[in-house]
């Protein structure tokens, strides 16, 4: 076997003439077969290599500034979570989608995402990230000019927007820069950071970076509650987590989806419990935790967005609850973060006699599965009930608060309703 292999190598390196002497005992027919086989293998290898290097697809990312002259900058646009900012971003992204999908780059275009809106000399300037998939053999300058060419036609589709595309403002950017930009924004999902759409939330166990805002609130270094990162120094959690101990020196916070090997541990500087928290009725079950020194955002550790004050949540919408809590009442917690998909339940339904019979007040929201099953449980408290918008940006709508046992029909999870406390959060943190 080894000799045959050696023989083949020699065919390539030294040519057939030499083979005859090196493997003198082989008959010409076998040598012929070997030569043909060798040539075929070499040819296929070179072919594949050339195909992959020259024609293989590769992602290319660009950044472009668009000036929209007839949209006036208002203070609402200061906040990326405002409905004005979202609507404008969506409109710009839709325009980009339509334009590129109707262009000669339709097959190369992947996604457009607005990352920044700021005031311009006239109107607003939107920074847009663009993702394309080009063959490797295309030339960088020609890629750039083809994109610029299409962007210069943008105003044709712009509808009511007046777009002034100053030419030459398409810049290629490396994937790490895109990631750095998006990590600083709130609520960036892992799939958004690669400007793709696919997210597979399969099963119930999370993977690294799936819920980068999830934290474990620890009492004397043992998991006690969940918490959610809303800035580089503040976390949101439940007030009832501090019923026994409220001295910040006994608390710390860890990040990373595996409890036993956290990516980071940070001490707590202060704890702000809602002054009107009532243990008996679970009212105002919300608290803020200030970290002792801020965390540096990474791919796996960054903040979620806060919803607007008193913003309505659509009944039936799909949301995710995450935590290291137990799988049944009285059970023990888990080591790998889990996720569950639940639906928002109307407060009227949740207050029905067979459900919670009036115990759900305006600062609370219910979420669960129609027949029970998926729910938060002991140890999940303080963790987020998160929802993504159509641009894959996540906000924390609820905080795990209470429930009758876990996962029973008509006894869904009850969450502190974050929009109800939005102004209190601003008062306490400036966020
Ligand atoms: N109070 C519990 C805790 O401290 C959370 C209960 C949530 N229960 C539920 N069925 N959703 O962890």
Does this model's pTM top 0.85? yes
Q: How many CB atoms lie within 10 A of CB 404?
A: 14
Ligand 1 contact via 239 beta carbon (within 6 Å): no
52 has a pLDDT exceeding 80: no
Atom of ligand 1 nearest to the CA of 240: 4
Q: Catalytic annotation on 224?
A: no
Ligand 1 contact via 415 beta carbon (within 6 Å): no
With cut-offs at 50, 70 and 90, classify the pLDDT of residue 53. Answer: low
Q: How many CB atoms lie within 10 A of CB 142?
A: 10
Mean pLDDT over each residue of the chain, to the nearest integer: 90
Q: Rounded distance, CA 377 to CA 333, Å?
A: 9
pLDDT in tens, 338-349: 999 999 999 999
Cβ-based burial of 27 (10 A; exposed 0-12, middle 13-18, buried ≥19): exposed
Q: Catalytic annotation on 348?
A: no
Look at residue 59 in the predicted model and tell me its pLDDT: 94
Tell me how far the alpha carbon of residue 20 lies from the centroid of ligand 1, in angstroms. 80
Q: Rounded distance, CA 335 to CA 323, Å?
A: 10
Identify the structural domains of the chain with CATH numbers, from first to last.
58-173 (3.30.70.960), 318-429 (2.40.10.10)
Q: Catalytic annotation on 285?
A: yes
pLDDT in tens, 103-117: 999 999 999 999 999
Torsional sign, CA 180, 167, 97, 67: positive
Look at residue 175 in the predicted model and tell me its pLDDT: 95
pLDDT in tens, 191-241: 999 999 877 776 699 999 999 999 999 999 999 999 999 999 999 999 999
Nearest of 232, 206, 383 to residue 297 by alpha carbon = 232
């Amino acid at each position: 076997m080894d000799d045959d292999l050696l023989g083949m190598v020699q065919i390539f390196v030294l040519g057939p003439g030499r083979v005859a002497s090196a493997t003198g005992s082989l008959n010409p027919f076998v040598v012929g077969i070997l030569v043909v086989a060798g040539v075929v293998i070499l040819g296929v290898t070179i072919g594949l290599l050339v195909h992959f290097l020259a024609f293989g697809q590769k992602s290319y990312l660009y950044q472009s500034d668009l000036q929209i002259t007839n949209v006036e900058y208002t203070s609402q646009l200061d906040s990326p979570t405002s409905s004005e900012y979202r609507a404008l971003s969506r409109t710009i992204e839709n325009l980009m989608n339509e334009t590129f999908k109707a262009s000669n780059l339709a097959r190369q275009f992947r996604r457009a995402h607005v990352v920044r809106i700021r005031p311009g000399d006239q109107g607003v300037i939107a920074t847009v990230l663009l993702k394309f998939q080009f063959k490797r053999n295309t030339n960088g300058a020609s890629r750039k000019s083809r994109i610029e060419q299409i962007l210069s036609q943008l105003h044709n589709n712009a509808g009511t927007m007046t777009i002034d595309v100053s030419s030459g403002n398409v810049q290629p950017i490396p994937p790490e820069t895109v990631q750095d930009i998006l990590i600083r924004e709130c609520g960036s999902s892992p799939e958004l950071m690669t400007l793709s759409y696919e997210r597979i939330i399969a099963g119930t166990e999370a993977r690294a970076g799936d819920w980068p805002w999830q934290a474990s609130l620890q009492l004397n270094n043992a998991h006690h509650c969940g918490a959610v990162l809303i800035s580089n120094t503040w976390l949101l959690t439940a007030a009832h987590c501090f019923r026994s101990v409220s001295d910040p020196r006994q608390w710390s916070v860890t990040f990373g989806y595996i409890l036993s090997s956290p990516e980071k541990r940070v001490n707590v500087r202060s704890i702000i419990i809602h002054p009107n928290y009532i243990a008996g009725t679970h009212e105002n079950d919300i608290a803020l935790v200030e970290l002792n020194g801020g965390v540096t955002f990474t791919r796996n550790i960054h903040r979620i967005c806060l919803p607007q004050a008193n913003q309505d949540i659509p009944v039936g919408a799909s949301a995710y609850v995450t935590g290291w809590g137990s799988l049944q009442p009285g059970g023990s917690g888990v080591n790998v973060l889990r996720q569950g998909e639940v639906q928002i339940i109307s407060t009227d339904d949740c207050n029905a006699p067979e459900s919670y019979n009036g115990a759900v007040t305006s600062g609370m929201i219910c979420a669960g599965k129609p027949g029970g099953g998926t729910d938060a449980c002991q140890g999940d408290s303080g963790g987020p009930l998160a929802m993504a918008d159509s641009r894959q940006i996540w906000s924390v709508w609820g905080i795990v608060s209470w429930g009758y046992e876990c996962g029973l029909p008509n006894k869904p999870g009850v969450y502190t309703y974050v929009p109800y406390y939005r102004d209190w959060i601003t008062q306490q943190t400036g966020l």
